[in-house]
Chains A and B, each alone.
Chain A
């Protein structure tokens, strides 16, 4: 990092400060937010131009997390310049437009005019995220800004706070958010292989000889998929038309110049990797072509002005993706050129739609018409923009199609046909849009009254339209930018130099353009003939398209969640079963896995001396079984104490008198406590519990689980006891040492000496328990 006073750090700083400045300005006076924010965006734009004018790309690099090999490296290279210019320039214009549009919009929605401040904050936050994204060289930083764009767009799309826009915001963030995770996975896979988060390092490591193996191809494919989803490409495209629920400035910024452009930017950023794989290039072509066709066809059927533009955006970015797929110098430079030309023009058309909706009070194409005479300036400005998109000569758009055709010619005849078809579709839907608003008469008579439009709702469109025409007259600078961007995207050693100029000859590009216009005009004139077929196609998409699959998945997920929730266990018995059953399953699996046949189940011999413990064991079993049958709580308490006492006897017979003693003590305390609690409980509680109907449904299940659990425990204990013991008993040692402890009785020596401390602890515990019992008695209710 040379110094702070160079384009890259300054641009980042200004862009990141812009939303904060707008917010701070808005806190003073809501009207101040737009001038401040727009001014900052303009400054950022100027800095970007400064950076573009430098011969070497400016860079800034800060260590972020050193031990983790993370750096913030930002480079204002050719690719970054193209997208940063779009983001800041159009950002400034849209901010200006919003300064007028959003207060009107808030007025219509009956909302506080101060709400304009958060709007501009998020809009400029989005700009900042874009600027950071395009300059980031570190894949993690890239991902971070990528997510920031998603967050900002979430709040922008949901800005209107009605059900539809909230739904749209959620859809957008789910689609772009989930696919962002694909990017993260891809990036982690790359890091796993090359040990670096730095993109240039990775690109250098991959080299020029194709992608090494399927894993890396998969990683790049995942990253590309994330980018394509953000660019609203088939089959992730459906979030974009929904996102039209946002206020128009949002649509014009996010959905023409910024958010969708971020997707193709990512494709450009990872293009040096993607280019190495024919498979990936083919995938890009297929996705691009599909988006171009689907978007174009559906755009022809839509009535809502913004919907037409949304679907046309899908189609237009299909071109860009297709251009990347076609590859070569023409393809990549064309893609970069295309993004700029389309961004300018589509933004203007969206703003036009917003102004028309504001003026005419309707947003349907067949309810407006013939506005050319009443809004001449708007009509001319948007005509320039429309001409740019349909690639008429003398506009910037002409060259975007020329490069497109050139790349198609380089690749093969099928792509020639496809590109002409795509261009014709563009001609048709944009023609339908502009003619429908400004020339044709409305099909349903409205638009008698026009609201006057303030200058801020027209001039940004004029600026954009004029830029389109100026670019058509002097394509040099834009071509230069595109060439530099392509040089970065192809990681080319020599600068790419694709020329744009008018040639009045019969070269294939010119013929293709003529053919496209001709077909386009035919399409516009013959609308009635093909409209039913296209409508049927569009409906097919509604019925079986990816949107349906997405909704269906969500529904199923919800249903499944509801279903599992109903399954939530509520009563206590089922809960105990819910622990026992999986535990039993685990033990059973363990038993099978541990090969129980390896140690035979031995049956020992029973001698006469075993009779008493055996009897006590039988008594224990009977008491335990009875406890499941007891209906009365006192009976239950007594039966349970029976279990304890008979077990204590078993201990006593198995040479463990001290354990037996403790068991008897504990058992006594417990029984007393149990019965004392029962006595203290209000009578009606016990009565109610006793009268509760028996839960016959679960009895069988509970018995089954109990028996299985018992059997499993038996098997394990049996097989363990069948093995020879690992240790000698501690008992012999005790007996041997008893004389040394000056005692005659083993039991008393164990209790008082060998385990004296234990005994002390036990007595303490029992003493405290007795104190508790005394408390119960003392409270007086136990009479």
Chain B
């Protein structure tokens, strides 16, 4: 084996969007230190928004691209574009909904009935960490080999660990962060261990070369190599942890509950999107010849996750915990897309595009729901179900938005969530996984209980008379945009699903062509 390194200069134009986010984060780091206090907050928020939106524009210009650079370590293809766009949408949404939280801090109702600031959050560090996490997640989406993939996941996760602990005077925040951190490290170790096994067996870090090697051996058919199997299983465990799949979900409720709510909104989407990006890169791209094995695994995990998440959510009185379990359940729905992948996937195979569309839909509705909680929580009330009492009569528009988010998470047509579920169900049926399709439907029916409970509380209970301040313009604007997107995006889902389809269509994985 010679050292056939490709030492030509990397094509940086392919990495524009990622570089923009990176540079933006570094600029933020300096701006935090040097911008005077009066313009501090506005400048930092502005830089963040400009950076993310600029990166999004740079991504859009890459649409249709299918190339690799950095010796194959970095890919710019349909998957990169689509997932990075989702991640950027989540980032912009997080910045928008967290702005007032950063200005006012986390407030608590004192015994004298007045609000006082319990936790003030340093805006600069917050934005920088969000920036790094977004950068990491985008790296995962663009990863062409195992190392970049792993670095991306870790970069994204490490920043999120710190963000979770940002309300550092609240014990639940620190506790959640600690549990998330320690278990996350443990899972990362397992993931890395799995990667070393894959490397050991196939002799390559490059995803396409791994696929080529596997397709070249009889590993796909006989599957007698326990080392390969071990690597596959360890990857499933590690990725399963990152995406909060049952039974690797135990960190989720504590971390979601403890983190400052804008952070919860962020971490319910971006690390999850990163985990699914990793799953697609690892399993669909690199381990495609083993798809018979891993689709079965993901199918079983999806089933368990959907059932468990929805059932346990019913018992929760704390809305953030309830949404944590709901997001576990949604992980299950998304995993169905992965499980529905059919070996040797044709261009018509809707599984991966349904998965991608689901993550997009989930981004809008879930961040929207957490935005409403951000608004409520910031006004000094906690996050219990009772805090939604009579919201419809005190803040009717916010109640309508929350109703939309809940209904969309439930999967009520014609909202975005319905289309997402629809695509996944169709993919499952196409893959002869009727039992999974039926489980989605039944699980959605069960989920109606806890989603509707919030709606019922908002509309049918009397408000408890606590004065609710107006949301800031940025926050209410953010909630409004997310609600409108939840309402209307589904109706225009065809172009989006076509964009998501691009990847499956443009896929030129070595392994696939060699295997056929």
Contact = CB atoms under 8 A, between A and B. Distances in A.
B247 A582 contact: yes
B250 A569 contact: yes
A579 B248 contact: yes
Nearest to B448: A177
Interface in A494-533: none
B237 A582 contact: yes
Nearest to A158: B460
A583 B190 contact: yes
Interface string A99-140: 000000000000000000000000000000000000000001
B316 A565 contact: yes
Contacts of B2: 733
Interface in A66-106: 66-68
B429 interface: yes
Interface stretch (A364-372, A446-454, A467-475, A593-601): A593-601
B203 A564 contact: no
Interface string B427-467: 00100000000100100111011001000100111100000
B68 interface: no
Contacts of B494: 65-68
B459 A561 contact: no
Nearest to A590: B229
A730 B200 CA distance: 13
B312 interface: yes
Interface residues of B, number: 63
Contacts of A575: 179, 183, 250-251
Interface in B1-47: 1-3
B236 A598 contact: no
Nearest to A713: B230
Contact of B203 (A151, A177, A562, A727): A727
Given A188-B425, A587-B233, A599 B224 contact: yes
Interface in B266-296: none
Nearest to A143: B413
Interface in B475-516: 491-494, 498
How many chain A residues sit at the interface, stated as a range, is: 35 or more
A562 B236 contact: no
A144 B311 contact: no
A147 interface: yes
A181 interface: yes
A579 B182 CA distance: 12
A389 B312 CA distance: 48
B471 interface: no
A676 interface: no
B413 A181 contact: no
A290 to B, nearest CB: 24
Given A579-B237, A583-B190, A728-B1, A716 B250 contact: no
A371 to B, nearest CB: 34
Given A161-B461, A565-B315, A582-B247, A719 B226 contact: yes
Contacts of A67: 494, 498
Nearest to A167: B456
B298 interface: no
Interface in B168-189: 179, 182-183, 186-187
Contact of B452 (A173, A181, A593): A173
B460 A564 contact: no
A185 interface: yes
Nearest to B441: A181
A89 B203 CA distance: 76
A178 interface: yes
Contacts of A560: 311
Contact of B230 (A158, A564, A587): A587
B335 interface: no
Contacts of A569: 250
Contacts of A144: 413-414
A562 B247 contact: no
Given A579-B183, A594-B223, A64 B491 contact: yes
B256 interface: no
B263 interface: no
Interface string B296-333: 01000000000010011111100000000000000000
A551 interface: no
Interface in B208-245: 223-227, 229-230, 232-234, 236-237, 241
A719 B446 CA distance: 45
A166 B297 CA distance: 42
Chain B: interface secondary structure? helix
A572 B182 contact: yes
Contact of A170 (B234, B315, B452): B452
A155 interface: yes
A67 B498 CA distance: 10
Contacts of B316: 565
Contact of B1 (A154, A558, A598, A733): A733
Contacts of B247: 578, 582
B253 interface: yes
Interface string A136-163: 0000100110010001001100100100
Nearest to B411: A181
Nearest to A716: B230
B158 interface: no
Nearest to A192: B429
B385 interface: no
B286 to A, nearest CB: 17
Given A575-B251, A579-B241, A582-B248, A561 B225 contact: no
A65 B493 contact: yes
B412 A169 contact: no
A568 interface: yes
Nearest to B297: A586
Interface string B342-371: 000000000000000000000000000000
Contacts of A578: 247-248, 250
Nearest to A178: B445
Nearest to B251: A575
A564 B312 contact: yes
A6 interface: no
A726 interface: yes
Interface string A486-500: 000000000000000
B201 interface: yes
Interface string A377-420: 00000000000000000000000000000000000000000000
A703 interface: no
A686 interface: no
B72 to A, nearest CB: 17
Interface in B138-191: 179, 182-183, 186-187, 190
B250 A565 contact: no
A513 B26 CA distance: 88
B493 A561 contact: no
Nearest to A715: B226
Contacts of B251: 575
Contacts of A627: none
A648 to B, nearest CB: 17
Contacts of B179: 572, 575
Contacts of A564: 308, 311-312, 315
A557 interface: yes
A692 B407 CA distance: 47
Given A596-B226, A720-B200, A733-B1, 20 more contacts: A144-B413, A144-B414, A151-B412, A158-B456, A169-B456, A174-B449, A174-B452, A181-B441, A181-B445, A557-B446, A561-B314, A568-B250, A575-B251, A582-B248, A587-B230, A590-B226, A591-B229, A716-B230, A723-B225, A723-B227
12 contacts: A65-B491, A161-B460, A174-B449, A174-B452, A185-B438, A565-B312, A568-B253, A578-B250, A582-B237, A586-B236, A594-B223, A726-B201
Interface of A: 64-68, 140, 143-144, 147, 151, 154-155, 158, 161, 165-166, 169-170, 173-174, 177-178, 181, 184-185, 188, 192, 557-558, 560-562, 564-565, 568-569, 572, 575-576, 578-579, 582-583, 586-587, 590-591, 593-596, 598-599, 716, 719-720, 723, 726-728, 730, 733, 754
